[in-house]
Amino acid sequence: MPLFKYKARDRFGGAVSGRMEAVSHGAVAQRLSESGYFPISIKKASSRPELVVPFQRINPEAMIFFTRQLATLLKVGIPLLSGFDTLVKQTKNKRLRSITLAISRDIEAGSSFSDALAKHPRAFSEVYINTVRAGETGGFLVEALERLADLAEHEAETVAKIKAATRYPVFVVVAIFLAIGIITTFVVPKFAILYSTFKATLPLPTRIVLRISLFIQKNWPFILGGALAFFGAFRLYIRTPGGRLQWDALKLKVPILGPLVLKLTMSRFAHILGVLVRTGIPILKSLEIVSRAVGNRVVDIAINDIALEVEEGKTLAEPMSKNPLFPPLVVQMVAVGEKTGEMDSLLQRISEHYDMEADYTIKNLATALEPVLLVFVGGMVFFLALSVFLPMWDMVRLVRR
């Protein structure tokens, strides 16, 4: 299909330019008019420039800013293409800026906003794409974008709280391993040299630490390579359907962390489903999208099973009540929402409830992990103390002898 260069003005008189694939000059003019632009000049272009997307991670803050600002621009009446021109200039993340430019050119070429987003699945989730598609179809794109920004902010806040709650336990574990490394590398070997002069036998804890130290020093390349290979194999395994299912099932069963994962998953389920229902997406399509967005394969399968029964004519609450993953509170609120027609608001209340419970659990996460840390750190410190002080006491005895 031929490529055309055009210049046009928007409803506010602002100049815009770009490229568009179309069958003729008239088709370009028609698309521009339908998008709210007044064509000034349309010329055939020789080729379409390729876009190079730099390798850079798109952080949640950049995506929230992108979504929130686009919603604001559309709310005040700025056309979609002009809004993208503004975003291209203001987005600091290089990769997101390149993707924004690519989306803008796809829209100029006649693609819908949601179809242009679908070409970048690593940047935009299925929830994001389908919510935008529903907003385009139903005429509430601004509201859909605002809901997506709220959802992204909610997810970012939860991740930040978990990182803050686990910072202390992680610091303690890293510190104890550093102490073990220093003692086994620099302290214990000195005792071996001293004991060899007295032709004495080191205490058992010291011998164990010394052998571990010597083993690590002689075989560290193989140990490092094995650890990297194991980590790589584990990552590959959990990307397979069976591995992902087993890993997600394990996360739900782990003491202390398992209930927290379930609460966060229920909050995400209710929040996303409420957003989709509120934006007018049918319940079966909403369940399909939610199942892929909850972040846990076990819950994903449960939601798909529920969707099959809903498709057969059952209410949403009925199959949910049969699945132990969904707490009675969720089932009861969904049942009330179906009867009263206020499903979206009740789902939002469910999300808020589990957010509060998750916040409480996260705030007390360090306290809940303290007994485990105490046993682990106490055991390691006790063993290291024996490996250091026993040879010192024996050394005094050997010198006196």
What is the number of domains present in the chain? 3
pLDDT higher than 60, residue 104: yes
**Does 297 lie in the same domain as 267?**
yes
Q: Which of 16-30, 143-157, 200-214 shows the lowest per-residue confidence on average (mean pLDDT)? A: 16-30
What's the pLDDT tens digit per position in 292-319?
778 788 998 999 999 999 999 899 999 9
Q: pLDDT grade, residue 48 (50/70/90)?
A: very low
Q: Which of 107-116, 176-185, 360-369, 392-401 is the most confident on average?
A: 107-116
Cβ–Cβ under 8 Å, residues 261 and 365 = no
CA distance 64 to 61: 5
**Helix 283-293, helix 297-311: angle, nearest 10:** 170
Q: What is the CATH number of the domain that holds 292?
A: 1.20.81.30
- Here the tokens at position 174 are 């890293």
**Does 86 lie in the same domain as 13?**
no
What's the pLDDT tens digit per position in 270-297?
888 887 788 777 888 888 888 877 878 8
**132 vs 10: which has the higher pLDDT:** 132
**Does 359 lie in the same domain as 265?**
yes
Question: Where does a domain end: 121, 152, 183?
Answer: 152
> Do the domain assignments include residue 401?
no
Cβ–Cβ under 8 Å, residues 129 and 117 = yes
> Do the domain assignments include residue 27?
yes
- The mean pLDDT of the chain is 81
> Do the domain assignments include residue 324?
yes
- Give the structural domain span for 341: 257-363
**Does 104 lie in the same domain as 30?**
no
pLDDT higher than 50, residue 253: yes
Tell which phi-psi region holds residue 124, choosing left (phi > 0), alpha (psi between -120 and 50) or beta: beta
> Do the domain assignments include residue 398?
no
> Do the domain assignments include residue 235?
no
Torsion of CA 260, 265, 267, 270, to 10 degrees: -160
**Does 146 lie in the same domain as 74?**
yes
**140 vs 222: which has the higher pLDDT:** 222
CA-to-CA dists, residue 226 to 58, 113, 180, angstroms: 31, 46, 20
> Do the domain assignments include residue 229?
no
CA distance 109 to 216: 60
> Do the domain assignments include residue 346?
yes
> Do the domain assignments include residue 270?
yes
SS3 category, 121:
coil
pTM (two decimals): 0.64
- Here the tokens at position 309 are 């029964």
SS3 category, 112:
coil
Question: Where does a domain end: 152, 169, 199?
Answer: 152
**Does 115 lie in the same domain as 18?**
no
**375 vs 393: which has the higher pLDDT:** 375
